[in-house]
Structure 1
Amino acid sequence: MRKNSIKNTRINTEVQRELSNILRGGIKDPRVAPMTSVVAVEVAPDLKTCKAYISVLGDKKAQEDTIKGLQSAEGFIRRELARTINMRNTPEIKFIMDQSIEYGVNMSKKIDELTRDLKDGDE
Structure 2
Amino acid sequence: MDGYKRTDRLNELFREEIALLLQRKVKDPRVHDVTVTAVRTSPELDVAKVYVVVPGDAAARAAALEGLRHAAPFLRHELGRTLRLRRIPELRFEYDDVHERAMRIEQLLREIKASEADEAGERPATDADSTAPPLDEPRR
Task: Give TM-score scaled by structure 2 length.
Answer: 0.71
2:125 corresponding residue in structure 1: 118
1:85 corresponding residue in structure 2: 83
Q: Identity over the aligned pairs, expressed in percent?
A: 32
Give the Cα separation in 1 of the matches to 2:8 and 2:108: 34
Give the Cα separation in 1 of the matches to 2:46 and 2:108: 41
Give the Cα separation in 2 of the matches to 1:102 and 1:24: 24
1:71 corresponding residue in structure 2: 69
Count of residue pairs brought into register by the alignment: 118
1:42 corresponding residue in structure 2: 40
- Compute the displacement of 1:122 (Å): 5.3
2:25 corresponding residue in structure 1: 26
Preserved CA contact (<8 Å) 1:55 1:101: no
Rg comparison, structure with higher value? 2
Cα 1:105/1:25, change in 2 over 3 Å: farther
Give the Cα separation in 1 of the matches to 2:86 and 2:33: 31
- Compute the displacement of 1:120 (Å): 6.7
- Compute the displacement of 1:80 (Å): 0.9
Give the Cα separation in 1 of the matches to 2:29 and 2:12: 27
Question: What SS class does the counterpart of residue 22 from structure 2 fall into?
Answer: helix
Moved over 2 A (4+): 101-115, 120-123
Q: Which runs of 5+ in 1 are unaligned?
A: none
Give the Cα separation in 2 of the matches to 1:91 and 1:70: 15
Question: What SS class does the counterpart of residue 58 from structure 1 fall into?
Answer: coil
- Compute the displacement of 1:104 (Å): 3.6
The higher relative CO (CA closer than 8 Å, separation ≥ 6) is in 1
Task: Give TM-score scaled by structure 1 length.
Answer: 0.79
1:6 corresponding residue in structure 2: 5
Give the Cα separation in 2 of the matches to 1:42 and 1:82: 17
1:56 corresponding residue in structure 2: 54
Question: What SS class does the counterpart of residue 42 from structure 1 fall into?
Answer: strand
More deviation, 20-29/60-69: 20-29
- Compute the displacement of 1:84 (Å): 1.2
Give the Cα separation in 2 of the matches to 1:98 and 1:36: 11
Q: Which runs of 5+ in 2 are unaligned?
A: 115-123, 131-140
More deviation, 104-113/89-98: 104-113
Question: What SS class does the counterpart of residue 31 from structure 1 fall into?
Answer: helix
